[in-house]
Structure formats: structure tokens, C-alpha cells
Structure 1
Amino acid sequence: MSRKLDLRTGQPVWSAYRAPRPETAALSRDVKADVAIVGIGISAAMIADALTEAGLSVVLVDRRGPLLGSTPATTALVQHEIDQPLSMLARRIGKDRAQRAWRRSRLAVGNLAARIAELGIDCRLAERPSLYLAGNILAPEALRAEGEARNDAGLRSAYLTAGQLKDRFGIDRKAALLSYGNLALDPRRLSAGLLTAAIGRGARLYAPVEATGYESVRDGVAITTRQGPTIRASACVLATGYELADIVPRGGHRIISTYAIATRPQARAIWPEAAFMWEASDPYLYLRATHDGRIVCGGEDEDFSDEATRDALLADKARRIAAKLAKLLPQVDPKPDYSWAGAFGTTPTGLPLIGSVPGKPGFLAVLGYGGNGITFSRIAAEQITAGLTGRVDRDADLFSFDRD
């Protein structure tokens, strides 16, 4: 079984925009496939698209339905910059491994953009630069060193002084790193497009279906369901987001709470290039603009996962975030049109966990997305597809459950 969580509360901004709803069927009898995926969110959508493109038959199940878990709660800043700064990650896992992780993240963002274009998915995709603002974790000199570490890894990043930042972007901070090649998009529309593509290749979606048991058997895996039928497959991918199945190790992974707001549309108040912004601070603030000029802003994380405690703080957290937004961008109307809270999974290094579940042959899992959920989901889709089609992914060791 999986741990059941109230993954989000409030009203995410994506409810303001229409998105297709992939069709599902009731699970009325036993089914078989090459791969079973538990979960039908954005991670599962990417994995299903990749697996069906590789010629594998796929069945997806979800106890809620498509895109009803954490997917609508994401703020969808698709960045290659990992939560853990490269200079700090190198001290934790070594320079070579840290550089490989950052490069793979950069590659994943590019591959995702290419896949969206290839499939012609209308998810309001736009390329955006990003500004990493100096803060209490990385002051200006440390931020300059971070930029040098990125450039040394072949990841172009420009250091902006306070004057340059003010002149170019109108932001009053001591320094920032400027990077290019990140993506703004609508996560529900992206997920629906990927699922539609997978369905066109034969993927089958069943919901609501609750998986209650996971067993390794001689010819693969067997998944029992509360509805009665059994799903048999050669392999099973657990893409349950922050609701971890009981068979998945919890060591090195924790669930915390995060908060976000979105303003009314105010296109004339959007800053130059609609650059993503992220503070090198704790607590941090991050923001982006939507296609119609809303400002999506979040942060104020709390180190607990209790839903009642999380939800009780939503109004206060929304006020705090709005106040920070007003201070950073005095020209905008910071009043929230939408506010929401959600569960948020993270690891000590900021890197996700992707790969085979220890002690459970045939089962794979993806978790610990941090602030790079969509980027890491793309990496998961690539690595899981490689493993299930007999290919070697040279970066699998960076994200596996048995990594150091």
C-alpha cells in the first residue's frame, strides 16, 4: 500500500486555465502489460510517453485520477539549476559527480523542450532566463564562486553586480547569476499532452484504482488492487509522488510543506524578459510569470508534512509571500488571486531517487524531486526507459537508491 496524503489544499493557479482531461476506464478484470505505472501525474506521463515510444505496452493506474495529485500544485519553473548550488553539491558528493548531475539536468530541460515541440503539445511553452539572487546562503562573493563553478562545468552563467542587475532587470539586490535556457509552461496541459500521445500508442489508463499490494513473481510483478483485479507486468514503476508505497525505502528522503500564490494578470508590470527569480536564501522566495501576466510566487517551506498544520498556516504564508513579492517588485500588485499549499519531497543533496527498489525485483520508483520536479521527471523517464530496454544510462549511479 501507499502512504495516503492530502497532497495540496487551496486553489492552484492552473485551475484558471482549461486543460484536456485524458480518458480513463474502470478496472473490471485482470490486465497485463510490459510495464505497469502506479500514478497518473506529470512524472507518470513522461515515463509513459517514453516507454510507449520505445515500443513497450503500458498500463497506468491512480487512486484519484489523471493529474489530480501534486501536478496541479507545481509552479512549473522548469530549471536546469538544481536546488543544491553546484559549488555546495561538489563539496558533498565530489566535483565530478556534481558536475555530471548539473549537466544532466541541463540536458533534460533541452530534451523536454524538444519532445514538446516534436509532439506539438500546446502547453504555453516559453524559454526564460533565470536570476539567482544573492542571499543569506550565498552572499555576493560566494555567488561569484558559484558562477565560476558553473562555467567550469560548461554551464554558462553570468555574474551581475548590483548596478547591472538594477539597470537590466530593475531588481534591487546585491548580486545575481544570470542563466539561460529554462522553460515556463502549464503543467496540466503538458501532462495531458504526453498522456494523450501515450494513449495513441496503446497505453491504457484506469482510475480510480488503488494499488494495495506489490509482489515480485517469477515472470515479473503482480499488483493487487482494492477494486479486485490484479495487474501483471514485467516491471512496475512507482510514480506516486509524495505518497510513497510501503516497499519504497524512506531513508534519505523527507516530506515537507510548501506554499505559493498567484496574482491577477498584470502584463504591464512584468519585469524584463519575464526572467525566473530564485533567492539563495533560507527561507527563500521564487517567482515566475504566466503567459497572461500573472505572477506565481512561492516559498516559506516548513519542515513538517502534517496536513492540518500545513493548511492552518496557508493564509499567513500567503500574506508573507505577498509582502516579500511587494518588496522585491514594488511596481506589481502582490495581492493573491490564488493561494495554495502542498507536500514537497526532498533529499539531503537535492538530487532525486530514481531506480530499482532495493529487495523488490521488478519494481522501480521515482521520488525526492525537490524544486526541480518536472526536470527530474524527464531524467526519470530517460533512465527508466533505458533500463527497461536493455540500454545503459551513464548517470544512473547519481540517482540510484544505493548511491553513497
Structure 2
Amino acid sequence: MSRSKRDLRSGVPLWLRREAASPAKPLERNETADVLVVGGGVSGALVADAALQAGLTVIAIDRRDFVKGSTPASTALLQFEIDEPLLALGEAIGEADAARAYWRSASAVAHLTGRIADLGLACGLKPRDTVYLPGNVLDARALAKEATARARIGLRSRYAEADEIKALTGIEAEGGIVSAGCAELDPVRLTRGLWRSALARGARLFAPVEATDVEESRSGVTVATVGGQEIAARWVVFATGYELMPFVPMEGHSVLSTWAMATAPQPEKLWPSRALIWEAADPYLYMRTTPDGRIIAGGEDEPIDDDDKRDALTAKKVAAIGRKLKAKLPDLAVEPEFSWAGFFGESDTGLPTIGTPPGFRRAFAVMGYGGNGITFSAVAAQLIQRAMIGLRDPDADLFAFKG
């Protein structure tokens, strides 16, 4: 049913060094539930959790298996900062809407960290600051203006001069933006934990199950599958990442390739703050640490949506990431112990699209584009939960399908 089937990632992400048994069973008969979630990654898991919180019954399916798609390719910098700077986003969609988008992102990080605590999920969650460094997109002066704009609307961002940036990161830079209220985690452990929690609360998980058709009536939806079974639900949520359903519009969105690597543990060489670090550059570099003292770095995005072409560039791209990392922090050992590639989405505004696609009333699609995809997945879970129980979310229009 998907518009395109892709190998969503390749290589060996750090997060998959430990195997885990599948939580899913084969689908052997027709099933019914209040909510059908299509997609076994982090977006689907958060939507399922929110639906269960609302007292709804849940079935989830995945055409591969759970936590086998794009989620393991994530580097899980859990931040409120959107790919499009606040000032640029304000020019694109208006200052008030840009402020709402940034505030919703910030509140989603807080909501997700709270939810992880409530469920007792052991996923390596650590609160972190982020440090946004100057680059060829925004220089130090532009970052200072951006920091002022953020502080003006109450966000926890401030401009730091070169000496403080050096003290926090070990990196020589003219200055940068330091933002509080962010975090890092292990995306696979998070998602596996969410699905285990969902199972314990009565969710039913089936894989491998591929949806082939969806029919909507006034009271619900029926999804047909490759195996001939049907699943009837009051609502269906398509959280299929970059394997989009054919009825989901692509206007304003594009799929890119991205690369990442993880070094061997070297805790004695990490920067003092362990902040999440990224550049206002194109192509950009970002980096974070792990609890066992590794450095994860990535970037080098290119507009490639073919997995063979993406994979052919992996060695070259990982080497480039290593060189950039070495240039910033010469004392690091930058040889990759793990390296991987994946697909990454972007939109014209840096915002995701979340809502009912044109022509539907009981189907939702989650297009969590942008560098902070896990944050946007948390936003999606909130928006969809409220829509299903009949509550108006004040920010739904920011993320809705246009037209």
C-alpha cells in the first residue's frame, strides 16, 4: 500500500548491538479495536501509548517487525529547536505561529521526559543543554539575534561568548546559543519499552503485516492486509515514516539521506558539559555523547531517496563526518566503531505534518519530518489523542495538511 518501499536504513546502528525478542504475533484472523496503528517505530509507539491513556483499545501492525524501520537510525538528540531558526520560521509563517511552534516543541520534550518517568522506561534518558554553533547558514551575529528572539518569547535559550562555548564544549567558536530543557536517550530502548508497556496494558501487536487498502465509513475504517485478514477500527493512524501511503500528499516535503557514526568509548576525552552540539551549517555536523563515553556524530545530508545510491556513499560520508569531528576536537579518536545510514525528511518550514489527509475523517498520518523527529512524534501523539476523544488542540492548525 505504501507509495514506495525502501530499505529505511543500512549499516549497524549503535542501538542495535543488543538483540531483543519480537513483541509481535502473526495476524491469523480478522481483528477489531478502537485504534489501529500502522507502524512499529517510535511514532507509532507514542501514539499507541496516548490512545491507551485515553482508555481506547489498540492494535498495532508493522510490515517488517516492531522497531525495525527508521527508529534505530535515529541519533536521538531530544531538543526543542526546530531545523528552521525561530526568526526564519517567523518570516515564513508569521511570528505568532513560529512562537507557537517552538513552544509546542519545548512542551513536547517536557511531556515526553515526564512520560518516560511515569512508565519507568530505562532508555538512557539524560537531561542535556544544546549548543548551537555558527556556520555558513548563520554566523555568530545572526545567532545572537536568534538567541534574543527566543528569549523574548520565554524560551530557555541565551547567547554565549567564545570563552563559555570553549568551556562547555572544548570547541573554538566566536560564540553560540546555549539552550536548556533538552535531553538525550537511546531510541531503541525507548521504543521497545513503550511497546512492552502497551502490551502490558492490553494492546495487540502483529507482524509482519502489510496494509493493502483502507476503506472509511461514517463510523470507522477497515484496513485490508496482504494475508487476506481485515482489521476494523474507529480510527487508523499511519505512522509509517518515510514509506508513505499513496493518499498522503508529498507537497512541501522531501526525503533525504543522512549518515551517522559512533566512536569507541573514550570518556576521558569528552567535552565537559556533554551538551548536544550542532552547527548552523549546510552540510551540518552534530554530535552527542553516550552513557558509556562514546561520541555519536552525523550529518552530511544529501537529497537522495534511493537506498542503493545512499549506501554507496556511506564510507565516504562517514569519513567526512570523522574529519569534521577531528577538526572541532583534535584530541578525539574518531574511528567509527559503528556506522549507519538512513532516510531523513524535511519540509519547507522544518515542521512536521500531522492530521487527517485530504478526503479522510477517521485516518491520521504522521509525517515527522525534521531533525528532532522524536520530539515531533510526541507532538503527534498529543494531537491525535485529543482528536480521537473529541477535544480541540489549540496548535492542530500548525501541523495540519494544507488545502
Quick check: 1:212 aligned with 2:212? yes
Alignment match, 1:9: 10
- Give the Cα separation in 1 of the matches to 2:194 and 2:152: 35
User: Displacement, 1:19?
Assistant: 6.3
CA displacement at 1:362 relative to structure 2: 1.3
SS of residue matched to 2:124:
coil
1:281-320 equivalent positions in 2, closer than 5 A: 281-320=281-320
**Structure 2: distance between partners of 1:236 and 1:92:** 32
Instruction: Name the CA distance, whole Å, in 2 between partners of 1:194 and 1:306.
Output: 31
Check conservation: 2:38, 2:61, Cα contact below 8 A: yes
Deviation at 1:229, TM superposition (A): 0.3
Aligned residues of 1:22 and 1:195 also touching (Cα < 8 A) = no
Per the alignment, in what secondary structure is the counterpart of residue 394 of structure 2? coil
Query: Are residues 1:89 and 2:115 paired?
Result: no
> In the alignment, residue 178 of structure 2 is paired with which amino acid?
L
Counterpart position of 1:402: 402
Specify the SS of the correspondent of 1:359: coil
Spell out, residue by residue over 1:178-226, the C-alpha distance to the aligned partner (whole angstroms, 9 max, x if none): 1111111111111111111111221100000010111112421111100
The runs of 5 or more residues in structure 2 that have no matched partner are none
Aligned twin of 2:353: 353
CA distance in 2, matches of 1:21, 1:295: 28
Question: Does the 8 Å CA contact 2:156/2:181 hold for their aligned counterparts?
Answer: no
CA deviation vs aligned residue, 1:299-354 (integer Å, no higher than 9, x gap): 00001201111110000001000000000111110111111111111101000000
* Change beyond 3 A, Cα 1:193–1:384: same
2:381 is matched with which residue?
381
| Corresponding position: 1:159 with 2:146 | no
Provide Cα deviations, 1:253-283, integer angstroms capped at 9, x if missing partner: 1111101111001111110120000100111
1:357 CA displacement: 1.1
8 Å Cα contact 1:22/1:196 also seen in 2: no
User: Which residue does 2:134 correspond to in 1?
Assistant: 134
- Partner of residue 337, structure 2: 337
Structure 1 alignment gaps of length 5 or more:
none
Distance 2:170 2:211 in 1: 51
Taking the TM superposition and a 5 Å limit, the aligned residue runs for 1:94-173 are: 94-173=94-173
Q: Is the 8 A contact 2:267 2:292 kept in 1?
A: yes
Which position in structure 2 is the counterpart of 1:322? Answer: 322
TM-score, with length taken from structure 1: 0.98
Going from structure 1 to structure 2, the CA distance change for 1:19 and 1:388 (only over 3 Å counts) comes to: farther
Aligned residue identity for 1:258: T
| Aligned partners of 1:19 and 1:188 also within 8 Å | no
Q: Distance in 2 between matches of 1:168 and 1:71?
A: 29
Measured in 1, the distance between the counterparts of 2:351 and 2:21 equals: 31
State the AA in 2 paired with 1:360: F
After superposition, the Cα gap between the structure-2 partners of 1:19 and 1:157, relative to the gap in structure 1 and judged at 3 Å, is: farther
TM-score, normalised by the number of residues in structure 2: 0.98
For structure 1, which segment, 162-171 or 247-256, has the greater mean C-alpha deviation from structure 2 after superposition? Answer: 162-171
The CA RMSD measured in Å over matched residues stands at: 1.1
% identical equivalent positions: 50
SS in structure 2 opposite 1:370? coil
Say how many residue pairs are matched: 402
Distance in 2, matches of 1:104 and 1:373, equals: 14
- Asked whether the 8 Å contact 2:368–2:377 carries over to 1, the reply is no
Kindly provide the amino acid, as one letter, of the partner of residue 88 in structure 1. A
Give the SS at the match of 1:371: coil
The alignment partner of 1:136 has SS state of coil
Between stretches 69-78 and 245-254, larger displacement belongs to: 245-254
Structure 2 partner of 1:236: 236
1:43 aligned residue: 43
